[in-house]
């Protein structure tokens, strides 16, 4: 390990590909060019990097700087936070964790690697907080559609901010029947979203079950988007579609989402290790550890 290299581990939360990188004790950050290099490598291809830094708050276990695969910053990543908890558990062996992020303070709890919970915070619904480019008095539905005016393919999404801006489009048929790879980038970068947005297609299957697919801002289609699952449930409750405790089926598996009475949103699910290694945070050069587990 050279002086400039750091330890990292490749993990996933229901197929949401995550790199956890240990930058604690260093003043520098992982550079966007390093993120792009790692994203282009088939072995280290990822959806988000969770870079751990020394926290400012002495009560926190780490400050997490989150990068998307396009090198842009993200304020929140629920599946990535669960991966961080699993990785730190080997070092700290705690039941509860506290993290600083650009989106605010995040609490998390470790039971085992099949059940890690993250408090995603309190969702915001005011148009200025999401943010939207123009005023909407009611963000349970906004005027936005894809396709012909008289027969849109997707329309009137529910929007919220739960760490990141989210738009949830409700559909009645199979979520796989929609060309999310085509519509996702157009909607992510729509002028109505000045900070771009995560785009979710959601089908409610019962009062306690929802199926989703998500195009993540800065990452594209992912196997599971934790904040997207949370945004779907709170908006399902707001529009009278489900109760407050819902199993959300993603392409990678199920997440349990609870919109609690204190208005915070709890997300629970499993994580998996893939391999460990060392990387250069400036250029993304990396090597796999001999005992990569």
Q: Where are the domains of the chain?
A: 6-121+271-288, 145-263
Q: What residues contact residue 25 under an 8 Å CB cut-off, 6+ apart? A: 54
Q: What is the pLDDT of residue 292?
A: 46
DSSP state of 243: -
Q: Which two tokens stand for residue 104?
A: 């605010």
- Give, for all 293 residues of the chain, the pLDDT tens digit: 566 899 999 999 999 999 999 999 999 999 999 999 999 999 999 999 999 999 998 899 999 999 999 999 998 899 999 999 999 999 999 999 999 999 889 999 998 888 999 999 999 999 999 999 999 999 999 999 998 888 899 999 999 999 899 999 999 999 999 999 999 999 999 999 999 999 999 999 999 999 999 999 999 999 999 999 999 999 999 999 999 999 999 999 999 999 999 999 999 999 999 999 999 999 999 999 865 44
Asked if the bond preceding 51 is cis, omega within 30° of 0, the reply is no
Pick 6-121+271-288's CATH classification: 1.10.1060.10, 3.40.50.300, 3.90.950.10, 3.10.310.10.
3.10.310.10
Q: What is the pLDDT of residue 169?
A: 98
Q: What is the pLDDT of residue 113?
A: 84
Nearest to 166 by CA among 121, 108, 207: 121
Measured in whole angstroms, the distance separating CA 182 from the mean position of its chain's CA atoms is 20
Residue in the structure block whose two tokens are 């060392």: 278
Q: Are 189 and 216 in contact (CB under 8 A)?
A: no
For 100, other C-beta atoms within 10 Å of its C-beta total 20
Q: What residues contact residue 52 under an 8 Å CB cut-off, 6+ apart? A: 20, 21, 22, 23, 24, 62, 63, 64, 84, 88
Q: What is the pLDDT of residue 2?
A: 63
The DSSP bridge partners found for residue 259 are 265
Question: Are domains 6-121+271-288 and 145-263 of this chain identical in fold?
Answer: yes
Q: What is the pLDDT of residue 173?
A: 95
Nearest to 249 by CA among 288, 202, 185: 202
Q: What is the pLDDT of residue 293?
A: 43
Number of residues that this document lists for the chain: 293
Check: CATH 3.65.10.10 for 145-263?
no
Pairing state of beta strands 253-259 and 245-250?
Answer: antiparallel
Task: In whole angstroms, give the CA distance from residue 10 to residue 157.
Answer: 34
Residues with a known catalytic role: 77, 225
The DSSP bridge partners found for residue 220 are 216
Q: Are 210 and 216 in contact (CB under 8 A)?
A: no
């Amino acid at each position: 390990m050279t002086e400039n290299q750091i330890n990292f581990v490749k993990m996933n939360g229901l197929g949401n590909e995550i790199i956890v990188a240990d930058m604690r004790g260093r003043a520098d950050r992982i550079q966007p060019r390093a993120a792009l290099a790692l994203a282009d490598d088939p072995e280290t291809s990822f959806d988000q990097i969770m870079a751990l830094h020394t926290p400012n708050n002495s009560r926190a276990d780490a400050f997490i700087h989150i990068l998307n695969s396009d090198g842009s910053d993200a304020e929140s990543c629920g599946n990535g936070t669960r991966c961080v908890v699993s990785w730190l558990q080997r070092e700290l062996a705690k039941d509860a964790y506290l993290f600083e992020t650009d989106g605010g303070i995040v609490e998390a709890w470790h039971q085992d690697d099949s059940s890690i919970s993250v408090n995603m915070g309190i969702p915001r619904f005011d148009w200025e907080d999401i943010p939207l480019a123009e005023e909407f008095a009611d963000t349970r539905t906004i005027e936005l559609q894809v396709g012909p005016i008289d027969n849109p393919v997707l329309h009137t999404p529910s929007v919220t901010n739960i760490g990141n801006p989210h738009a949830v489009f409700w559909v009645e048929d199979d979520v796989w029947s929609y060309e999310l790879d085509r519509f996702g980038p157009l909607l992510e970068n729509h002028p109505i979203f000045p900070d771009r947005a995560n785009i979710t297609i959601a089908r409610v299957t019962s009062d306690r079950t929802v199926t989703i697919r998500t195009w993540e801002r800065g990452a594209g289609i992912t196997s599971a988007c934790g904040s997207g699952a949370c945004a779907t449930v709170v908006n399902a409750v707001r529009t009278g579609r489900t109760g407050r405790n819902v199993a959300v089926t993603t392409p990678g598996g199920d997440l349990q989402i609870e919109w609690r009475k204190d208005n915070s949103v709890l997300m629970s699910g499993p994580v998996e290790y893939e391999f460990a290694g060392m990387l250069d945070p400036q250029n993304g050069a990396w090597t796999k550890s001999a005992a990569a587990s």
